[in-house]
Amino acid sequence: MIPYILLIFLIVVSYFLINKRFNNAKKKYCIFVGVLLFLLLAFRNTSLGIDLKRLYIPYFNIIKNLSFGETIRFSQSHQTEVVFYLLNKTISLFTDNIHFYLAIVAIPYIFTVSRFIYKYSKNPLLSFLIFLSLNYYCFSFSALRHTLAASFLIFSYDYLKEKKWLPFLFCVILASLFHRTAFIFLLAYPLAYLKINWKQIVLSLLLIFCSTLLRDFLFQLLFFIFDSGHFANYLNIGESMSLVFFTINFLLYLFMIYLFKNNKNKMENRVLLNLQFLCICFASLTPVLGEMIRISFFFGVFLCASLPNAIENSKYAQNKKVYYSVLSISFILYFFNFTLYNSSLVPYVSIFD
């Protein structure tokens, strides 16, 4: 746990030190924290991350000995996205060291998250604590394809906010070449501009009601539709998924609506709130299909900007201090609680051990 404790300590302390001592402090802080997050990922031992030894490392070791044509046939035989394995093959032309490989594939996700926080968050300290505590960072220890896809989706926010549908579509297509479920993010374009009102709250509660009480029926319906192929592999995961993630995000959604009040339908606020709404919609379906938690991550990561921005909308400085203090402490405690019981992350083992 010591590396994770040190990480939190540096994230918190450096925020105040950099703000006090440097010009353009926000940019320098985001770069500093981004480098910290990258180093922790890059120098991890291959024992950290559930899917590394089971999937990514064996496949990389196979692919490095294949031609590009054989790599394409290999990906087709395993019913997975060919571009990801072509990336593996390309990396193997320069190095067959697995630690360099893991470091290279970690760069896009950490870069785009840090860039997003720098550009759009009004309090990067809280943003990075959200990124850590709600499992978006820890997820990258294992889910390489998913986080590479998420990198393009996070970058697409620039175009989503500005209603530039063509570059937005291009980003989503690129993301889907790494993880096909990223296509679902296309829903963000028409739904991000809906006016925020009570209907979103009712719909999210209705979804959680249906997914809980009608789980068996919906599960069987999905199994009937997806009775074979790659997607069917995720159907049995739903039985073990909790709704903690949904509950946290739903409560934060209500809190943000309260904070934004009359400003909730300003364009940037509306887009961020609707992305959060889509997150809780998919999170509510995890009792039916466990893969929905991964899909909800595509939308939920934007909370890194929406929550700090909602707090900044408050007119009272004392309220802001209370909100930031309570939420920061809560996120830190939740991160340690989550990490403590995660056997794929604790103890942290570096490549030097």
Q: CA-CA distance, 270 to 176, in Å (whole number)?
A: 25
**pLDDT one-digit tens code per residue, 146-166:** 999 999 999 999 999 999 999
Nearest to 79 by CA among 229, 181, 179, 226: 229
Q: Which two tokens stand for residue 165?
A: 């549908």
Residue 346 covered by a domain: no
Is residue 352 domain-resident?
no
The answer as to whether 350 is a domain residue is: no
Is position 36 within any domain? yes
Structure tokens at 144: 């390489």
Residue 125, classed as helix, strand or coil, is: helix
pLDDT tens profile 48-92: 878 888 888 888 888 888 888 888 888 877 777 888 889 989 998
Which residues make Cβ contacts (< 8 Å) with residue 156, sequence separation at least 6? 167, 168, 171, 172, 175, 185
Is 88 inside any structural domain? yes
Read off the amino acid at residue 148.
L
Instruction: Kindly state whether residue 353 falls inside one of the protein's structural domains.
Output: no
- Residue 101 structural domain: 2-340
How many percent of the chain have pLDDT more than 90? 46
Q: Which pLDDT belongs to residue 211?
A: 66
Instruction: Reply yes or no on whether the pLDDT at 122 is more than 60.
Output: yes
CB atoms within 10 A of CB 202: 10
Full-model pTM: 0.89
**The pair of three-digit structure tokens given for residue 279, joined into one six-digit string:** 């997150």
Closest CA to 124 of 14, 21, 22: 14
Q: What is the pLDDT of residues 268-292, one digit of tens each?
A: 889 999 999 999 988 888 777 767 7
Q: Residue 277 domain-assigned?
A: yes
Residue 44: strand, helix, or coil: strand
Tell whether the model's pLDDT for residue 340 goes beyond 80.
Answer: no
- Specify the number of domains making up the chain: 1
